[in-house]
Structure formats: structure tokens, C-alpha cells
């Protein structure tokens, strides 16, 4: 609620004013019932409240007076309806804005968090927060506001009853307190189910994500049933929880309705026993009857809030941990600084399960073509993540231009590094949009030059819509090699000082790959090119070969150069050398 109030700021004042005006109009229209009931029962206005209003009506006959009072009552109801509509519209706008703000804040914090933290998050945890929890949070805030409105209405109505029938109002207050105490165990159970709901929703999201990611493979292996079983298990658990919650709510509604009927009867009898004048008793009963609806709404709201607060807790915890993890990155500068050398000094990093790199000492220079190889799991990607500042070393340091850099200083070099991973990420958009990702200043001529260098110009040129060809979700309309070429072209458009290809050409045939790398080497800016690969043909294109073994660097191989062009010693790679020219 406090987050909602912070968000709404001054916007909340008119909404609260409308709530109060609504409550006031409710009270006034109910007070009008006393002279109406007086005219109906006695033929004259008796019994206090607004009865004196009848004296101002310049009509003698009872029917005329009744018509004026009823007209006044109807006008009051209509004005109140307009006020309530305005109030609800304002509250709805605030709620939508709040959802938007919370979602944007979460995504901002997510993008600002260090990679090591983001990599440890379950994707379903984030999608559940963005998709479900943020809505639950906003709904909770709205229910709380609604409850405040309802309570203000109830207080207005109770004051009216207190004004016209003090004993009845005391009985109502006592019953209200008893009812609130009785509902506490139900709220505890609702909260418990709310926590289960958050876990089960996340599990369903996770299962849906896995199903989509693995459906092609599952179809190819007739394994769809296993996926469906897993998915159904999670959805059954979620649905079971929701059904149980609905069952409990309907039980609560039945008991509420029964209690309300008994309370109404007791009030009527008590009023008669207290010898209250019929117009007063009638009006008090009408007011009490009108109070029963909001009281039930209040109980239902309390139940829903108890069930939804765990979503809020889950979202808040996620945001809190994201904020804590980004403390260092926040101090980052946005200035871009050229990279001449990048290296590591006795760098050490261990992942949670023990894998990683130890004692890595390297210095890579701009203009070099460096090959990084080694068995699977030997630490190549971990090393690259350290080199690009995505991971922070637990020991030793990363040096850029000979100076140690920490997380807060790394950002200034990010624009100068192009990292292309094995699974080239493409947006579900056109080739043009993918090439210009995050930049507004890329010309069409530059795009074609980059496509030419990555060997993609031919297939893009032949597509019916050229640069405006959509690539579909994660580039699924393109082949693996085409996706990689687009990703390389996008990286080249950033004119980087360092280009890192982490198995990023493994879907491209060897001859084309050689041509692409030759183009990278021939770039006038002479970037540092780091090729992480298992392919001997690719390693032959490098000047230096760094081999990782169990997280450490094996003795480095420096390769000879032939006529200024890089080649590899054939005996170390197992394939004859060739020159890096086209
Ligand atoms: N996010 C992570 N959480 C936990 N352990 C990890 C994580 N990433 C990597 N590891 C572990 O660290 C070790 C090194 O992994 P890394 O990805 O650096 O190897 P690699 O040489 O790049 O392997 P490959 O050639 O198969 O890509 C492995 O044992 C791996 O299981």
C-alpha cells in the first residue's frame, strides 16, 4: 500500500476526495429515508434526521411532498453514482499506472543487475513476476483502496445509525468486532494457499517454457507425452489450489449470508423491544441492510488480500535482491574508452558447483587473432565472461589498457566489445531492426557493408523484403548459419575494438567461416579477434592459441606469421596451414 501511495503521490488526493464525497452523499441520501418513511407511516414527517426538510416543501398534500422527497432522493442517488464513476475511473487509471511502474522497475533492476546474479535466476521466476505477480500486487493495492472506501462508507452509515438509534449501533459495532476475530483463521489459511499459489504458478511457467523450448526435439523422438505429463502435473496442482480457494470463499459467503439474516432479525426484535418509533426503526433496518453488502465485500477483500500478499512478498524479494546485487554497477560511467589491451592477472573464479578458472594470466592486444580452445567444461566461457566484465573475479584482477578494472569501471569499455555467443540471439523483428538493435544512427549502406562482411548480403538481398524481412521468434525463419551471420553483422556495426566469437561460427561451413574471419582481420580498425572454438580449421586462422584444461591455461602456443599473415603450425592443429587472405 505504501508503494502504491508513493506511486500515486498527489493523484491520490482527488481520488480520496471523491471517496469521501461518495460516502457523504450516501449518508445524506440515507438520511432522506427518515422523512420519506415518516410520510409513509404517519402521513407526516416525524422522527428527526432530515424530517424538517418537509417544512420547506411549498406543498400541502402528502403525495406532493412525497414526490418532492423521492425526487430529491433520486437526484442524490444519481449524483452519487456519477461521483462513484469518477472515483472508480481515477482508481483504475492509478492501478494500471502502478502495474506499469512496477513492471518497468523490475525490468530496469533486472537489466542493471550483474550477469552472475541474473544467470542464477530461474527464467520462470522472472516471467511469473512480470506476468502474474505484478497484477496480483496491483489487485491487492486496489482491494486495499476499495476496502478503505468501503470502510469509509460503513463508518458513515454506522454514524447515521448511531445518530438515530444508538443502541442498535452499539450492537452492530460489537458484532463487527466479533466477526473480525472469527475470520482470522480463514485469513491465515488463505495466506498459506497464496504462498503455494506463487510456487505453483512459477512451476507452470517453467514447464511451459521447457515445453516450448524442447517441443521440436520431443516431436522428433515421440516424447510429447512425457512433456504433457509434466505440464499437466503442475497445472493440476495449480488448479487444485485455486478450486480449494474458491470452495472456501463460497463457504464464507454462505455463512456470511446466514449470519446477516440472523443479525437483521435480532436487530428488528431489539428495535421493537426498545420501542423505537417505526420510521426510525425502518430507516435503521434499511441502513443496516445496506451495510451488510459492504461488510461481506470487506470480508471477501480481506480474504483475497491475504491470498495475494504472498505474490507481493515474492515480487518484493526479487526486486530487493536485484537492487542489492546491482549496488556496484550503479556507479558505472557511460563514457566509452578505446581498448588497446585486455588481460588477466592471476584471475580466479568458481561457480556455485565448483567449476570455473584458476590462476589465469594473459595479455591480449588489439590487432591479434587469438584462438581459445580446450575440452568441454574446461573454463573457456567462464574466462570470456571474466574478460568482458560479465563476471567479477573472486581473486586476481582484469586489466584493460594495463589498468585494473572493477565492475563499476567496466561499463565504459562495453561499447568497444562485441561478444557473439553460440546461440545467436535475434529479436522477433526484421533484419533491419536486428542490425540496428539499440542504435538509431545506423545507415542502410553500413548495414549492407556489415552483411557483406558476414557473408549474409546474398541471402538478405535475395529475400523478397530485403532488410525488412522478419526473422520470427528467436530467428526461427532463418537457418542456424544465417542467424549467426546476422549476429556477426550486428556486432560489426558497433565498430568494436574487441570481437569475441564464442563458437559463434559453428553453424557456418568452414570455407565461409574462413572468409568471414578474413574480413574481420582486414577491418581497418584492426580489432582484437578472440575465437573460442573446437574446430581445428578455425584455430588455424589464429596467431596465438590458448588452451584451457580443467580451468587452467596449458602452455601457450605462439604461432609463426607468414608474410604478415597469421597461420598455425600444422603439427599442433593437425591440418595444413593456409594464409588469411581471400
Ligand atoms: N552458471 C554456472 N553455474 C554453475 N556452474 C557453471 C556455470 N557456468 C559454468 N559452470 C561450470 O563451470 C565449468 C566451466 O564451464 P565453462 O562454460 O566455462 O566451460 P567451457 O570450456 O566454455 O565449456 P564448453 O566448451 O562446453 O562450452 C563447468 O564445469 C561448468 O559446469
Q: What is the average pLDDT score of the chain?
A: 82
Distance 389 CA to ligand 1 centre (A): 16
My answer on whether 360 and 216 are in the same domain is: no
Which tens digits make up the pLDDT trace of 423-447? 888 888 889 998 988 777 788 899 9
Stretch 534-551: mean pLDDT, rounded? Answer: 87
> Is residue 220 assigned to a domain?
yes
User: Of the residues 319, 350, 380, which one is the last residue of a structural domain?
Assistant: 319
Stretch 187-197: mean pLDDT, rounded? Answer: 90
pLDDT score of 276 more than 60: yes
Stretch 508-516: mean pLDDT, rounded? Answer: 85
My answer on whether 304 and 372 are in the same domain is: no
My answer on whether 311 and 365 are in the same domain is: no
7 pLDDT tier (thresholds 50, 70, 90): confident
User: Of the residues 258, 286, 319, which one is the last residue of a structural domain?
Assistant: 319
Cβ–ligand 1 distance for 387 under 6 Å, the answer no
Lowest mean pLDDT among 93-107, 335-349, 449-463, 547-561: 547-561
pLDDT score of 329 more than 70: no
pLDDT score of 37 more than 90: no
Distance 382 CA to ligand 1 centre (A): 6
> Is residue 582 assigned to a domain?
no
pLDDT for 85 equals 92
Q: What's the domain count of the chain? A: 2
The answer to whether the Cα torsion of 32, 37, 39, 45 is positive or negative is negative
Distance 125 CA to ligand 1 centre (A): 22
My answer on whether 287 and 357 are in the same domain is: no
pLDDT score of 196 more than 60: yes
> Is residue 28 assigned to a domain?
yes
572 pLDDT tier (thresholds 50, 70, 90): very low
Q: What is the CATH number of the domain that holds 259?
A: 1.20.1560.10
pLDDT for 383 equals 93
My answer on whether 16 and 127 are in the same domain is: yes
> Is residue 309 assigned to a domain?
yes
My answer on whether 215 and 301 are in the same domain is: yes
pLDDT score of 64 more than 90: no
pLDDT score of 183 more than 90: no
User: Which residues are CB-neighbours of 365 under 8 A, at least 6 positions away?
Assistant: 340, 341, 528
Helices (H), 221-326: 224-273, 278-325
My answer on whether 255 and 296 are in the same domain is: yes
The SS3 call for residue 205 is helix
pLDDT for 557 equals 62
> Is residue 332 assigned to a domain?
no
pLDDT for 575 equals 40
My answer on whether 55 and 198 are in the same domain is: yes
Distance 355 CA to ligand 1 centre (A): 6
> Is residue 406 assigned to a domain?
yes
Best mutation site among 354, 381, 550 for ligand 1, i.e. most ligand atoms within 8 A of its Cβ? 381
Structure ipTM: 0.95
- Structural domain including 181 reads 2-103+111-319
Distance 375 CA to ligand 1 centre (A): 11
Instruction: Output DSSP code: residue 374.
Output: -
pLDDT for 371 equals 92
**Interatomic CA distance for residues 80 and 60, integer angstroms:** 29
Stretch 351-358: mean pLDDT, rounded? Answer: 87
pLDDT for 577 equals 42
Cβ–ligand 1 distance for 119 under 6 Å, the answer yes
Which tens digits make up the pLDDT trace of 129-164? 888 888 888 888 888 877 887 887 788 778 877 887
Q: Which atom of ligand 1 is nearest to the CA of 357?
A: 14
> Is residue 329 assigned to a domain?
no
Q: What is the CATH number of the domain that holds 408?
A: 3.40.50.300
Q: Which carries the bigger pLDDT value, residue 378 or residue 32?
A: 378
Stretch 74-101: mean pLDDT, rounded? Answer: 89
> Is residue 297 assigned to a domain?
yes
**C-alpha cell, 174:** 460489537
Stretch 230-248: mean pLDDT, rounded? Answer: 88
Closest CA to ligand 1's atom 20: 377
Residue of 582, 580, 501, 504 lying closest to 540 (CA atoms)? 580
212 pLDDT tier (thresholds 50, 70, 90): confident
Q: DSSP assignment of 385-431, as one string?
A: HHHTTSS--SEEEEEETTEEE-HHHHHHHHTTEEEE-SS----SSBH
Cβ–ligand 1 distance for 378 under 6 Å, the answer yes
pLDDT for 47 equals 53
My answer on whether 287 and 146 are in the same domain is: yes
Phi, psi of 560 (to 5 degrees): -80, 160
pLDDT for 580 equals 41
pLDDT for 206 equals 87
Q: What is the rounded (10 degree) CA torsion for 25, 27, 31, 37?
A: 100
Which tens digits make up the pLDDT trace of 170-182? 888 888 888 888 8
My answer on whether 380 and 479 are in the same domain is: yes
pLDDT for 281 equals 80
User: Of the residues 289, 319, 349, which one is the last residue of a structural domain?
Assistant: 319
Closest CA to ligand 1's atom 1: 119
pLDDT for 567 equals 46
49 pLDDT tier (thresholds 50, 70, 90): low
My answer on whether 405 and 352 are in the same domain is: yes
My answer on whether 296 and 371 are in the same domain is: no
Query: Can you name the residues that pair with 561 across neighbouring β-strands?
Result: 566
Lowest mean pLDDT among 188-192, 283-287, 448-452: 283-287
Q: What is the rounded radius of gyration, in angstroms, for the C-alpha atoms of the chain?
A: 36
Amino acid at each position: 500500500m505504501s508503494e502504491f501511495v508513493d506511486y500515486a503521490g498527489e493523484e491520490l488526493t482527488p481520488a480520496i476526495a471523491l471517496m469521501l464525497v461518495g460516502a457523504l452523499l450516501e449518508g445524506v441520501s440515507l438520511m432522506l429515508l427518515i422523512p420519506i418513511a415518516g410520510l409513509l407511516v404517519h402521513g407526516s414527517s416525524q422522527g428527526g434526521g432530515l424530517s424538517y426538510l418537509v417544512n420547506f416543501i411549498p406543498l400541502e398534500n402528502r403525495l406532493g411532498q412525497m414526490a418532492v422527497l423521492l425526487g430529491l432522493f433520486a437526484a442524490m442517488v444519481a449524483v452519487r453514482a456519477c461521483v462513484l464513476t469518477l472515483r472508480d475511473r481515477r482508481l483504475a487509471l492509478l492501478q494500471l499506472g502502478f502495474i506499469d511502474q512496477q513492471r518497468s522497475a523490475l525490468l530496469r533492476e533486472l537489466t542493471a543487475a550483474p550477469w552472475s546474479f541474473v544467470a542464477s535466476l530461474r527464467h520462470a521466476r522472472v516471467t511469473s513476476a512480470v506476468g502474474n505477480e505484478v497484477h496480483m500486487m496491483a489487485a491487492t493495492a486496489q482491494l486495499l483502496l476499495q476496502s478503505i472506501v468501503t470502510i469509509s462508507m460503513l463508518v458513515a452509515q454506522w454514524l447515521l445509525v448511531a445518530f438515530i438509534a444508538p443502541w442498535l449501533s452499539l450492537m452492530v459495532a460489537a458484532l463487527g468486532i466479533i466477526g473480525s476475530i472469527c475470520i482470522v483463521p480463514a485469513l491465515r489459511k488463505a495466506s498459506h494457499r497464496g504462498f503455494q499459489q506463487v510456487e505453483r504458478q512459477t512451476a507452470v511457467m517453467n514447464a511451459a517454457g521447457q515445453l516450448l523450448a524442447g517441443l521440436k526435439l520431443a516431436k522428433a523422438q515421440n516424447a510429447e507425452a512425457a512433456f504433457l505429463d509434466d505440464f499437466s502435473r503442475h497445472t493440476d496442482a495449480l488448479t487444485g489450489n485455486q478450486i480449494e480457494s474458491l470452495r472456501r470463499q463460497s463457504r464464507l459467503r454462505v455463512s456470511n449470508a446466514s449470519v446477516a439474516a440472523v443479525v437483521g432479525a435480532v436487530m428488528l426484535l431489539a428495535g421493537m423491544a426498545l420501542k423505537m418509533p417505526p420510521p426510525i426503526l425502518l430507516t435503521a433496518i434499511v441502513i443496516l441492510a445496506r451495510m451488510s453488502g459492504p461488510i461481506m465485500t470487506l470480508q471477501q477483500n480481506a480474504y483475497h488480500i491475504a491470498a495475494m500478499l504472498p505474490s507481493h512478498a515474492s515480487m518484493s524479494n526479487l526486486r530487493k535482491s536485484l537492487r542489492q546485487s546491482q549496488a556496484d554497477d550503479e556507479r558505472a560511467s557511460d563514457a566509452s574508452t578505446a581498448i588497446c589491451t585486455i588481460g588477466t592477472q592471476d584471475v580466479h573464479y568458481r561457480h556455485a558447483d565448483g567449476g570455473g578458472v584458476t590462476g589465469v594470466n594473459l595479455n591480449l592486444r588489439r590487432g591479434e587473432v587469438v584462438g581459445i580452445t580446450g575440452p568441454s567444461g574446461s573454463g573457456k566461457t567462464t574466462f570470456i565472461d571474466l574478460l568482458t566484465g560479465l563476471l567479477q573475479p573472486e581473486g586476481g584482477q582484469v586489466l584493460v589498457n594495463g589498468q585494473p578494472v572493477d565492475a563499476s569501471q567496466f561499463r565504459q569499455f562495453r561499447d568497444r566489445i562485441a561478444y557473439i555467443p553460440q546461440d545467436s540471439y535475434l529479436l522477433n523483428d526484421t533484419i533491419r531492426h536486428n542490425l540496428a538493435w539499440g542504435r538509431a544512427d545506423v545507415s542502410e549502406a553500413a548495414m549492407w557493408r556489415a552483411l557483406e562482411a558476414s557473408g549474409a548480403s546474398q541471402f538478405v538481398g535475395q529475400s523478397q523484403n530485403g532488410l525488412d524481412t522478419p526473422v520470427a521468434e528467436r530467428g526461427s525463419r532463418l537457418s542456424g548459419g544465417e542467424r549467426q551471420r546476422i549476429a556477426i553483422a550486428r556486432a560489426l556495426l558497433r565498430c568494436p575494438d574487441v570481437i569475441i566469437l564464442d563458437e559463434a561460427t559453428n553453424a557456418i561451413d568452414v570455407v565461409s567461416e574462413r572468409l568471414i574471419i578474413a574480413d574481420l582481420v582486414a577491418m581497418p580498425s584492426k580489432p582484437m579477434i578472440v575465437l573460442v572454438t573446437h574446430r581445428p580449421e578455425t584455430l588455424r586462422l589464429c596467431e596465438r592459441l590458448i588452451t584451457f584444461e580443467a580451468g587452467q591455461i596449458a602452455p601457450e602456443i605462439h604461432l609463426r606469421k607468414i608474410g604478415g599473415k597469421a597461420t598455425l603450425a600444422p603439427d599442433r592443429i593437425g591440418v595444413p596451414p593456409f594464409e588469411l587472405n581471400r
